[in-house]
Chains A and B, each alone.
Chain A
Amino acid sequence: MAEARATLGGLGKPKEARAPGLSYQWRKTISYAAIAVVLIGVFIFFQFDTDFMMLWFPYIGRGVVYTLILSFGGMALAIPLALLGALGRLSRSAVLNSISAFYVSFFRGTPLLVQVFFIYYAFPQLAFRPGVPGFLEPVLVLDIIFAGILALGLNYGAYMTEIFRSGIQSIGHGQVEAAHALAMSPRQTTRRIVLPQALRVIIPPTGNDFIAMLKDSSLVGVAGSVTELFNRAQTTGRAEVHPFETLAIAALVYWALTGVFTFFQNKLERRVARGHFREQVHGH
């Protein structure tokens, strides 16, 4: 990758325009340093309150716990939903197909924030309309954490249905026929032959979606008082009249978080590509 870029950089270089001794890597390092200097300049010019940031960093930073609860919870719901959605889309049953198409269309077609508000604010009202039986109350009136996980799971499940579907469809029909010829049932074929192979295609974009969800979990903090990263930054920023500092803390933590998970995502992706699937690596 580095070499590839270096070559490209070399190609784009006008003749004799740059100092000949400086490598691409060096020019990059210097550019980063320049960006850092500019940012520090801006911080100083606007009198950034670093002491305040130090003081509040631990509290706001601990919001990560809720960010992770929301994201892992949302993902734990989204994955089975996406699997069901994909199987529905691929099934020959008109009923299952319609349900799954409706699900995908609705949850992809409306904003996540609207869905969060619906589940957290609008559903509870329904519970208290005349004639609505009492046992529905615990289903309709949800704690913000559960409402958030539900909204994230439903929303991402809809997007990921398409990922799962294309993953499953990427497995050749010959595989299915071979399994059928061996008397494996459709269910056994899906579980033992198709899905394990589809995972290779599904895992990388699912990792991307998880990273996106880490950031989108902030929308749950907008709707209710779950003290995840953004919510803590927002409330303390307002109370202490230092919103710039508190939001900067939140932004830094989100950035670090996505950095960490992107690192793992890349490792996982490389592993899946290797694994048993030399086919893919060598081309077929």
Chain B
Amino acid sequence: MATDIIKVENLEKHFGELQVLKDVSLNVKPKEVVVIFGRSGSGKSTLLRCLNFLEYPTGGCIEVDGTRLEYGHPTRARRDAIRQIRMKAGMVFQEFNLFPHLTVMENLIEAPVTVRGESKKEATERGKELLDKVGLSEKADQYPIRLSGGQKQRVAIARALNMRPKIMLFDEPTSALDPELIGEVLAVMKKLAEEGMTMMVVSHEMGFAREVADRMCFFDDGVILEEGPPDQMIRDAQHERTKRFLEAVL
């Protein structure tokens, strides 16, 4: 069996006095789709954001596709490793965060050109394919403000993919969307999973989890309280807290 592409070992994160992550360990295999769920404030976003160092862990270790990084102050070597990890991990935010001063295609090629040093032509070629994949070929020259929420999020996914990441992190990608727009984003994510992308998804879309996820993790108060295959998890969770939470969202 392939070695784990994501390894999280004894991860801790404090915000001052507040400890948000308490000794979290988690391994993800290539092509695996992990859905993380749990109540608000339990630390789900913080976990994802620690994975690409938008937050600096205050303890533990992270490894993404062979690039390993212990917690600690940012030294030159560490910054280099962070850059490596960020290139390997695409991230999709709840609020899309498209660049409003750039067109859709410019959004897609910005990082490949400035970070990877690709030619505009090369990045645009791939960008076209990706827009095609998310069903937005005709929007290449539009500015983000002209797009619906669902379209924005699909562009955001394509933008992350244009960096050719090894894994994708989704932080509640459909929570800011009107209900009728959620489906189009989930469909793109499902397609991505079928193509073999390794994904960590914070989401409360249980239908999506059941259909697409290989594993679900219930996050509670800074720890992974319980994990397992979606069917088992949804049908008979072990912990009382997990059961209660699932009853509330289902």
* Residue positions of A touching B, CB distance < 8 A: 174-175, 177-185, 188, 192-193, 196-197, 276-279, 282
Contact = CB atoms under 8 A, between A and B. Distances in A.
Contacts, number: 67
B111 A175 contact: no
A175 B97 contact: yes
Contacts of A183: 83, 86-87, 111, 115, 163
A188 B97 contact: no
Which of A181, A188, A192, A282 has the largest count of B CB atoms less than 10 A from its CB?
A181
B19 to A, nearest CB: 22
Nearest to A177: B54
A277 B101 contact: yes
Contacts of B101: 196-197, 276-277
A176 to B, nearest CB: 9
Given A188-B115, A192-B114, A182 B160 contact: yes
Nearest to A195: B101
Contacts of A192: 110, 114
Contact of B115 (A175, A182, A196, A277): A182
Interface of B: 52, 54, 83, 86-87, 89-91, 93, 95, 97-102, 110-111, 114-115, 143, 145-146, 159-160, 163
A184 to B, nearest CB: 6
B211 to A, nearest CB: 27
Contact of A184 (B52, B102, B114, B146): B114
Contacts of B90: 181
A84 B194 CA distance: 49
A177 B86 CA distance: 11
Contacts of A193: 99, 110
A182 B111 contact: yes
7 contacts: A179-B99, A180-B86, A181-B52, A181-B91, A183-B87, A184-B115, A192-B114
